[in-house]
Each structure stands twice: as structure tokens, then as C-alpha cells.
């Protein structure tokens, strides 16, 4: 019993270390975009976006699923004392990963010119793509090493390497972008892309250093292996692929959808911009630089850059934070399914959905009210794009429900179901893109609205499946309507107070920073008064029990 408690505590500690590292990495990823956008502007981000999306697809194909598969296989073999077999998993996976990484790197290096022209009508994206080639190979190797360390229940090397990777990436990208800007915008974007490869190199060096530190210990355990699974290298590779491919397919859907998004933006939007130009409607675009408005290519690049850097980054920030809180219950759902306790599954699913909504609703309303001002504060040198957040912030609610229900389905062992639902939702998104991007009244907002539609359908399909299979009852009023209404009141109060303070004192950014914490208090108090937020809800949030004790200590 004591060993089980210690093991559970060790796993929890490891998960916490990884969560902190992921949060720090994402925070660095957001912050470095500010000076980078100051250098290359929205137009530069528009060139960078398709290059990076191709890179993300390559990563999904080469390495995204490997850490999970390898860590599970290594952990299983170490648990029965088969340390030599655990190390063979590492070696077989490394050979496979090196080959796949090398093949995809060669494909991108020689195919970058064709990809950038055929998919995006953007030859200038070829060099930034080539600058990402080393990263594909290096990350493939890192994926195996991270999986091996995690299989040994050592999360620290992965955590440190992630932070180092993002930190070096940020510094090098910004420095190279500013240094190369004098040559051309394309050169600056290429330098920013190369920062990704340099970051990957430093992260790999960290992992190699740690590996050689613990190699004597690994070899000692290998010599003392008590048992063997009698698996050939071919059988090990087959098991790695069987575990990896479903995860890869599931992960690749939205990476490929992102690729399709940018391809459609660069294929359809130029014609839409031409229609707007002939109708004298360019003034309706969210672009303040008159020089950009003189070139159709510059307009498309600027709009694509706003979508990729500002909209996507700021929408994903609250979503990632919400999912970190909400997904903590997924292992408990897996345990309940294993016991066939579907009543507990229903209870926990409702609980995690409510937690998600309690955070998603104010996040969506907050960005709807302050989206434009947030963009102006963070990107003062390129202040366009706030409208995308205003129109697209509702997607936070849909993404939250979709991703949480996906986690629940995965916890139930139904990995293929959300994959099918995601594919259907993405198919609808393609149709929506075709229609909305072609409309001059929509232009870039079309892809923002299609994203909301996509995740709404994804969420509905997941929820309907849960209703049909485990007969879950979703209390629409308690889970959805009440959080949205309380958030809406918060938004109205915030909007009125913000405008009043700006009229009296000026300094819009400072007034926004004052109003946001007031808005949080308003939401919390209203939530408690209307019983939208209960003591039980607070208990289910990390640190919530301590908050309850403080609130009612003197009562």
C-alpha cells in the first residue's frame, strides 16, 4: 500500500513538472512573438505561417506519437524487470525515428519550392521551410529520448529540454529576424524559422548530456535483467507502430486542417481582395498601414499573419490553461470505466465540463470586450487584428467542450470516435472556408467563423455520442446558460467601466489592466450569488479547497 502511494505521488510529481514546463514553454512562445512581430510585422508572419504549418504536419508524421508509445512500452518492460528489452525498445525506436526524420527532412528540403508555390502561391515561403528542415530531424530524435526518459518515470529531462528549446528558439529567432531585416523580409522570416532548428539542437544536447550522465546506471540495470519478453526487433517496431499510428492519425487531422486553412487563404483571398478593391471596400479591412493596402499580396500576407500569430496564439492561451485544469480528471474517468462504474463516469464528465465552462465563458467574453485593446497593448508596433479576436472569441467555448469531451472519450478507450468526429468537423470547415472566404463582407473573418463552426460541430458530435452510449444528462442551464449569462453581465460591467475610466483618465491600456481584475471579482461574486459557482466546483479546481477554507474561515 505504501509503495502504491509513493508511486502515485511520484507520477503526480512528474505530471506536475511536465505541466509547469509546458506552461513556461507556451508562455515563452507567446511572449517572443511580440518582438518578432515588431520586426517582421503581420506580412512577415503571413510568410512564416504556411512554413510553420508544413513543419507541424511533418512533426506530426515523424514524432508526435512516439513519446507516448515508447514511454508505455519502456515502462511495461521495466515493471517486470526486463531492462534489456526496455533498452531495445529505445534502440529500435531510435533507428526508426532517425530514418523517418531523415526521409521527411529530405522531402521538405527538395520539395519546399514546389510546396510553397503549389499549396500557397507563395514562392518566398520556400526558404523559411528549408530553415526548418534540421528541426524535423532533431525533434524526431528528441521524441525517442523523451519517451525513454518518461518510461523510466523521469520527467525532468523532458521538462528542462522543452524550456531550453523554447527559450533558445525565442532568442535566436528574434535576434536573427532583426539582423536580417535589412536584407529583406524573406531573409528575416528565414532567420526566425532557423531559430526553431537552433532551439531543437540545444534541447537535444540537453537530452544527450542527461543520457550520458545516467548511462552507467542504465547499463548496470541491463546487466541485471531478471527476465525477457523474447520479442524480436521487428516485433518491437510493430508494437511501436500499432501504438503510434492511431495517435498520429488523430493528431494529424487538425495539423492537416491548418495546412488546408492557409492554402485556402492564399488561394481564395486574393480574388476576394480584388473584388473588394474594385468595389472600393478595402477600407473595411482590418489593416491600418496605407502602404500595405497598395499591394494585393501584402494585404493577403498581413491578414494571414494576423490570423496565425494574433488570433490563434491568444485564443489558444486560455484554452490550454482550461484544459490543464479540466483534463486532470481524465485518469479518474479511465479508472471508473475499468470498474464499469458508468454512473461515476457521468458524474465526472459533468464535473469537468462545468469546470471548463466556468473558465471558458469569461475568457471568451473578456476577449470579445478587450480583444482589440489587448492586441494594441501586446503588438504596439503592429496593432491590427483585434477584430479577429472579437469575432472569434466564441470559439473558446466550443474548443473547450470539444477537447474535454475528446479527453473523456479517450479515457473510455474510444480513441477512434473523436478522430472520426474531428474529420467530419474539418470537412465542414473546408466547405465553410470555400463559402465564407469568397465573400467580400467576410474576407479573413471567414476562416475565423469556419473555425468556430468546426469546433461547434466537433463538440456536438462528441456530446451526442456520450449521451447515446453512457446516457449522460447534460444540464444545459447549469453547465452552459448560467456561466455564459454571468460572463455576459461581467462583460457589460467591464465595458461600461472601461469606457468611463478612459473618458475620465485616458490611458486605455492602463485602464484595461485595472478593469480586468475588477471583472474577475465581478464574475466570481456573481457566480457565487447565483450559485453558478458552488463550493463543490471550487473543490474540483487545483488550490480550490484552500480558497474555500480562506473564504469561510471566519464564518
C-alpha 552, offset from chain centre: 37
Instruction: Look at residue 334 and tell me whether its pLDDT is greater than 70.
Output: no
Instruction: Look at residue 5 and tell me whether its pLDDT is greater than 60.
Output: no
Question: Do 195 and 248 reside in the same domain of the chain?
Answer: no
C-alpha 539, offset from chain centre: 27
Q: What is the mean pLDDT of residues 160-184?
A: 95
- 346 and 472 Cβ atoms separated by less than 8 Å: yes
- At how many degrees (to 10) do helices 2-62 and 296-305 cross? 170
Q: What is the mean pLDDT of residues 37-53?
A: 93
Residue range 106-129, pLDDT digits in tens: 999 999 999 999 999 999 999 999
Instruction: Determine the Cα–Cα distance for residues 142 and 400; give it in Å rounded to an integer.
Output: 29
Q: Please report which confidence band the pLDDT of residue 1 belongs to, taking 50, 70 and 90 as the band edges.
A: very low
Sign of CA pseudo-dihedral 441, 444, 446, 452: negative
Q: Is residue 180 a part of any domain in this protein?
A: yes
Residue range 519-551, pLDDT digits in tens: 999 999 999 899 988 877 776 665 556 655 665
Question: Do 336 and 405 reside in the same domain of the chain?
Answer: yes
Q: What is the mean pLDDT of residues 22-33?
A: 84
Top pLDDT among 23 and 395 is at 395
Question: Do 201 and 251 reside in the same domain of the chain?
Answer: no
Predicted confidence at residue 135, as pLDDT, reads: 97
Predicted confidence at residue 485, as pLDDT, reads: 96
Question: Do 389 and 439 reside in the same domain of the chain?
Answer: yes
Question: Do 356 and 274 reside in the same domain of the chain?
Answer: yes
Q: Which domain holds residue 486?
A: 482-555
* C-beta contacts of 276-282 below 8 A and 24+ residues apart: 276/440, 276/443, 279/440, 281/440
Q: What is the model's pTM?
A: 0.86
Q: What percent of the chain has pLDDT over 70?
A: 91
Overall number of domains in the chain: 3
Question: Do 391 and 418 reside in the same domain of the chain?
Answer: yes
Q: What is the mean pLDDT of residues 262-278?
A: 95
Q: Kindly list the distances between the CA atom of residue 122 and the CA atoms of 119, 127, 163, 508, in Å, as whole numbers in the listed order.
A: 8, 11, 32, 38
- 450 and 433 Cβ atoms separated by less than 8 Å: yes
Instruction: Determine the Cα–Cα distance for residues 178 and 35; give it in Å rounded to an integer.
Output: 9
Predicted confidence at residue 339, as pLDDT, reads: 78
Q: What is the mean pLDDT of residues 34-44?
A: 93
Work out the mean pLDDT of the chain and round it to a whole number.
Answer: 88
Instruction: Look at residue 2 and tell me whether its pLDDT is greater than 70.
Output: no
Predicted confidence at residue 476, as pLDDT, reads: 85
Question: Do 406 and 539 reside in the same domain of the chain?
Answer: no
Three-state DSSP at 544 gives helix
Q: Is residue 118 a part of any domain in this protein?
A: yes
Q: Is residue 110 a part of any domain in this protein?
A: yes
Q: What percent of the chain has pLDDT over 90?
A: 59
Using H for helix, E for strand and C for coil, what is the string for 24-35?
HHHHHHHHHHHH
Q: Kindly list the distances between the CA atom of residue 360 and the CA atoms of 229, 398, 515, in Å, as whole numbers in the listed order.
A: 47, 9, 19
Instruction: Look at residue 19 and tell me whether its pLDDT is greater than 80.
Output: no
Predicted confidence at residue 327, as pLDDT, reads: 56
Q: Is residue 319 a part of any domain in this protein?
A: yes
Question: Do 212 and 246 reside in the same domain of the chain?
Answer: no
Instruction: Determine the Cα–Cα distance for residues 490 and 400; give it in Å rounded to an integer.
Output: 20
Instruction: Look at residue 554 and tell me whether its pLDDT is greater than 60.
Output: no
First-residue to last-residue Cα distance in the chain: 38
Predicted confidence at residue 325, as pLDDT, reads: 58
Question: Do 292 and 248 reside in the same domain of the chain?
Answer: yes
Q: Is residue 510 a part of any domain in this protein?
A: yes
Predicted confidence at residue 392, as pLDDT, reads: 94
Predicted confidence at residue 545, as pLDDT, reads: 62
Predicted confidence at residue 7, as pLDDT, reads: 46
| Domain closes at, from 431, 452, 474 | 474
| Domain closes at, from 474, 507, 536 | 474
Residue range 437-471, pLDDT digits in tens: 999 999 999 999 999 999 999 999 999 999 998 88
Maximum mean pLDDT: which of 53-67, 86-100, 236-250: 86-100
Q: What is the mean pLDDT of residues 348-366?
A: 89
Of 269, 274, 320, the C-alpha closest to 447 is 269
- 113 and 126 Cβ atoms separated by less than 8 Å: yes
| Domain closes at, from 207, 231, 255 | 231
Question: Do 356 and 415 reside in the same domain of the chain?
Answer: yes
Q: Is residue 236 a part of any domain in this protein?
A: no
Q: Is residue 543 a part of any domain in this protein?
A: yes
Q: Is residue 201 a part of any domain in this protein?
A: yes
Question: Do 394 and 448 reside in the same domain of the chain?
Answer: yes
Maximum mean pLDDT: which of 184-198, 218-232, 283-297: 184-198
Residue range 391-446, pLDDT digits in tens: 999 999 999 999 888 888 877 878 789 999 999 999 999 999 999 999 999 999 99
Q: What is the mean pLDDT of residues 237-255?
A: 87
The label of the residue with cell 492602463 reads 510
- 413 and 387 Cβ atoms separated by less than 8 Å: no
The label of the residue with cell 508544413 reads 54
Predicted confidence at residue 355, as pLDDT, reads: 85
Question: Do 428 and 552 reside in the same domain of the chain?
Answer: no
Instruction: Look at residue 322 and tell me whether its pLDDT is greater than 80.
Output: no
Q: What is the mean pLDDT of residues 468-477?
A: 85
Amino acid at each position: 500500500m505504501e509503495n502504491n502511494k509513493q508511486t502515485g505521488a511520484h507520477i503526480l510529481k512528474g505530471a506536475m513538472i511536465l505541466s509547469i514546463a509546458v506552461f513556461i514553454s507556451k508562455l515563452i512562445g507567446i511572449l517572443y512573438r511580440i518582438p518578432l512581430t515588431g520586426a517582421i510585422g503581420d506580412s512577415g508572419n503571413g510568410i512564416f505561417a504556411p512554413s510553420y504549418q508544413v513543419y507541424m504536419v511533418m512533426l506530426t508524421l515523424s514524432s508526435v506519437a512516439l513519446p507516448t508509445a515508447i514511454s508505455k512500452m519502456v515502462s511495461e518492460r521495466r515493471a517486470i524487470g526486463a531492462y534489456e528489452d526496455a533498452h531495445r525498445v529505445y534502440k529500435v525506436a531510435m533507428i526508426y525515428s532517425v530514418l523517418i526524420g531523415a526521409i521527411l527532412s529530405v522531402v521538405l528540403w527538395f520539395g519546399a519550392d514546389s510546396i510553397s508555390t503549389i499549396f500557397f502561391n507563395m514562392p518566398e515561403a520556400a526558404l523559411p521551410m528549408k530553415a526548418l528542415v534540421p528541426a524535423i530531424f532533431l525533434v524526431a530524435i528528441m521524441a525517442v529520448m523523451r519517451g525513454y526518459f518518461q518510461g523510466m518515470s523521469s520527467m525532468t529531462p523532458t521538462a528542462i529540454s522543452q524550456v531550453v528549446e523554447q527559450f533558445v528558439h525565442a532568442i535566436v529567432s528574434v535576434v536573427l529576424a532583426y539582423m536580417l531585416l535589412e536584407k529583406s523580409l524573406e531573409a528575416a522570416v528565414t532567420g526566425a524559422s532557423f531559430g526553431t532548428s537552433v532551439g531543437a539542437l540545444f534541447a537535444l544536447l540537453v537530452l544527450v548530456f542527461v543520457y550520458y550522465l545516467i548511462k552507467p546506471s542504465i547499463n548496470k540495470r541491463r546487466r541485471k535483467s531478471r527476465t525477457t519478453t523474447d520479442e524480436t526487433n521487428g516485433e518491437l517496431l510493430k508494437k511501436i507502430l500499432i501504438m503510434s499510428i492511431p495517435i498520429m492519425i488523430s493528431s494529424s487531422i487538425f495539423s492537416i486542417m491548418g495546412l488546408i486553412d492557409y492554402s485556402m487563404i492564399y488561394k481564395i483571398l486574393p480574388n476576394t481582395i480584388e473584388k473588394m478593391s474594385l468595389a472600393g471596400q478595402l477600407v473595411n479591412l482590418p489593416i491600418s498601414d496605407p502602404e500595405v493596402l497598395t499591394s494585393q499580396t501584402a494585404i493577403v500576407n498581413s491578414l494571414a499573419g494576423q490570423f496565425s500569430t494574433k488570433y490563434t496564439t491568444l485564443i489558444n492561451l486560455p484554452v490550454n490553461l482550461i484544459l490543464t485544469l479540466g483534463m486532470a480528471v481524465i485518469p479518474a474517468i479511465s479508472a471508473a470505466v475499468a470498474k464499469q462504474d458508468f454512473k461515476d463516469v457521468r458524474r465526472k464528465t459533468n464535473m469537468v465540463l462545468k469546470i471548463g465552462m466556468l473558465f471558458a465563458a469569461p475568457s471568451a467574453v473578456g476577449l470579445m470586450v478587450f480583444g482589440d485593446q489587448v492586441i494594441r497593448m501586446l503588438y504596439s508596433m503592429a496593432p491590427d487584428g483585434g477584430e479577429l479576436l472579437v469575432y472569434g472569441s466564441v470559439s473558446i467555448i466550443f474548443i473547450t467542450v470539444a477537447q474535454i469531451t475528446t479527453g473523456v472519450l479517450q479515457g473510455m478507450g474510444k480513441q477512434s470516435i473523436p478522430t472520426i468526429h474531428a474529420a467530419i468537423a474539418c470537412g465542414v470547415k473546408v466547405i465553410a472556408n470555400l463559402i465564407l472566404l469568397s465573400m467580400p463582407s467576410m474576407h479573413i473573418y471567414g476562416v475565423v467563423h469556419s473555425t468556430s463552426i468546426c469546433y461547434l460541430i466537433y463538440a456536438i458530435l462528441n456530446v451526442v455520442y456520450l449521451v447515446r452510449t453512457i446516457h449522460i444528462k447534460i444540464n444545459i442551464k447549469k453547465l452552459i446558460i448560467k456561466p455564459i449569462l454571468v460572463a455576459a453581465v461581467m462583460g457589460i460591467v467591464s465595458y461600461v467601466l472601461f469606457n468611463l475610466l478612459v473618458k475620465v483618465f485616458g490611458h486605455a491600456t492602463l485602464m484595461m489592466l485595472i478593469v480586468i481584475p475588477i471583472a474577475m471579482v465581478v464574475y466570481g461574486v456573481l457566480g457565487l450569488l447565483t450559485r453558478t459557482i458552488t463550493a463543490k466546483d471550487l473543490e474540483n479546481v487545483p488550490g480550490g479547497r484552500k480558497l474555500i477554507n480562506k473564504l469561510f474561515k471566519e464564518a
